[in-house]
Amino acid sequence: MIAKIHQQIRKFETAIAPLLAPFADLFLRIAIAQVFLTSGITKLKDLGGAADLFQYEWFSDENWWMQLLGAEEIPRFLATILGGLAAAGETVLPVLLIIGLFTRFAAAGLMVMTLVIVVLVYPIWTETGLALWWSEHMWWVVILLAIMAFGGQKFSIDYWLKPKE
């Protein structure tokens, strides 16, 4: 009886999993892309504001690692470069995810950005950082790990470019 139940479960799994995986992958890619793309577009609309974020908020003397360096703020040219790089990464990488081109690479890039946020911008060991970890950042990490682990499925350019065996 138990063997029969396991057999039916395996049949169900082998029939359903191939159908659901491409949709799950697509929805995960769109969900995480939306978060970063929204931020990237905001930064692109106001690159000066993006530089201000780096110079006065995220890289200020209030952050633990800036205190370790003994710095009060980063130079304006460096803040401008970092703001531009963040805007580019938050715009290009999500678009790659949405279309499923270089899917694992794009997810890895967004993972690096997420880890920078979790360690440098809103450190996880602070009250704000911990609250953001449980409400948002943990989910970003989970989604990005899944995308990196499984890559683009049938609804991605990567899948169609992959050599068929």
d(CA 100, CA 94) in angstroms, rounded, equals 9
- Token duo for residue 67: 């205190």
- Report pLDDT for 138: 95
- Report pLDDT for 58: 66
Percent residues over pLDDT 70 in the chain: 89
The dihedrals phi and psi of 61, each to the nearest 5 degrees, come to -70, -5
Is pLDDT of 69 > 70?
no
pTM, 2 dp: 0.85
d(CA 91, CA 70) in angstroms, rounded, equals 32
What are the pLDDT digits (tens) for 94-127? Answer: 999 999 999 999 999 999 999 988 988 888 888 8
CB atoms under 10 Å from CB of 156, counted, come to: 24
